[in-house]
Chain A
Amino acid sequence: MKKILIVTVIVTIAGFITASDSFLQPKLQLHKTESQKQNSESDNPHNLSPELKKALNCKSCHACEYPTPGNPCLLDCPRGSMISVYHSPKEGPEIVLINEMSENYGGVVFSHRLHAEMSEMTTGCEGCHHYNTTGPILSCKGCHENKRMRENVAIPDLKAAYHRQCLTCHKQWSYENGCNTQCHLQKGSDIDVRREQAINKIKGRSHPLLPEPTKMIWETNYEEGKIVTFFHDEHFQVFKIKCNSCHKNDNCIKCHEKKENVDFTKPVKIKKTFDDHHMPCVNCHDGNSCKKCHREGEMSPFNHGKSTGWALSGFHSRLGCADCHGNSMPYKRLDRNCTSCHKNFVKGTFNHSRTGLILSEAHLEAECENCHINKDFSKAPQCASCHDDKSFPKDLPGKRNR
Chain B
Amino acid sequence: MKNLDRRSFLKVAAAGVSASTLGASQVKGAEIKLDENRIGVLVDTAVCVGCRLCEWACRTAHHLPTDALETYADDSVFKEFRRPDKTALTVVNEFENEKNPLLPIHVKTQCMHCEKPACVSACIVGALTKNQDGSVVWDGDKCIGCRYCMVACQFQIPTYDYDVSIDPQIRKCDFCEDRRKEGLLPACVNICPNEALIFGKRCDVLKIAKERIKRKPEVYVNHIYGENEIGGTSWMYIASKDFDKLKMATLGSSPAPGISEAIQHGIFAYFVPPVTLYTLLGTFMWVLKRRKEKSPEEIGDTKKEVIEEKKDEKGEEL
Contacts and interface: CB of A to CB of B under 8 A. Distances in A.
Interface of A: 76, 148-149, 153-154, 156-157, 159-160, 163-164, 167-168, 171-172, 174-176, 251, 253-254, 257, 259, 262, 268-271, 276
B60 to A, nearest CB: 15
A76 B204 contact: no
Given A160-B195, A176-B73, A153 B102 contact: no
B215 A76 contact: yes
A389 B207 CA distance: 85
A164 B194 contact: yes
Interface of B: 47, 49-50, 69-70, 73-75, 98-103, 185, 189-190, 192-195, 198-200, 204-205, 207-208, 211, 215
B101 A153 contact: no
Given A148-B189, A153-B208, A251 B47 contact: no
21 contacts: A76-B211, A148-B185, A154-B204, A154-B208, A156-B194, A159-B193, A160-B194, A163-B193, A167-B193, A168-B103, A171-B50, A171-B103, A172-B102, A174-B75, A175-B70, A176-B70, A253-B103, A257-B102, A262-B102, A269-B101, A270-B99
A167 B49 contact: yes
- Which 6 A-B residue pairings sit nearest by Cβ, starting from the closest? A160-B195, A174-B73, A163-B193, A271-B98, A153-B200, A167-B49
A259 B200 contact: no
Given A148-B190, A175-B70, A176-B73, A156 B195 contact: yes
Contacts of A268: 100-102
A153 B193 contact: no
Given A156-B195, A171-B49, 14 more contacts: A148-B195, A149-B185, A157-B195, A159-B193, A167-B49, A168-B103, A171-B102, A174-B73, A176-B70, A251-B103, A253-B102, A268-B100, A268-B101, A276-B99
Interface centre among A176, A257, A271, by most B CB within 10 Å?
A271
A160 B101 contact: no
B102 A159 contact: no
Nearest to B185: A149
A159 B189 CA distance: 12
Contacts of B205: 153
Contacts of B98: 271
B203 to A, nearest CB: 12
Contacts of A253: 102-103
Point out which of A153, A167, A172, A270 has the most chain B C-beta atoms below 10 A from its C-beta.
A153
Most chain A CB within 10 A, of B69, B193, B198, B208, is at: B193
B79 to A, nearest CB: 13
A154 B102 contact: no
Nearest to A159: B193
A176 B204 CA distance: 37
Contacts of A269: 101
Nearest to B70: A175
A251 B97 CA distance: 14
Contacts of A149: 185
Most buried by A among B47, B185, B194: B194
Contacts of A259: 102
A82 to B, nearest CB: 15
A145 to B, nearest CB: 11
A91 to B, nearest CB: 29
Contacts of A156: 194-195
A271 B99 contact: yes
A278 to B, nearest CB: 15
A219 B204 CA distance: 50
Contact of A154 (B74, B189, B190, B211): B211
B268 to A, nearest CB: 41
A276 to B, nearest CB: 8
Nearest to B73: A174
A291 B50 CA distance: 44
Contact of A153 (B192, B194, B199, B215): B199
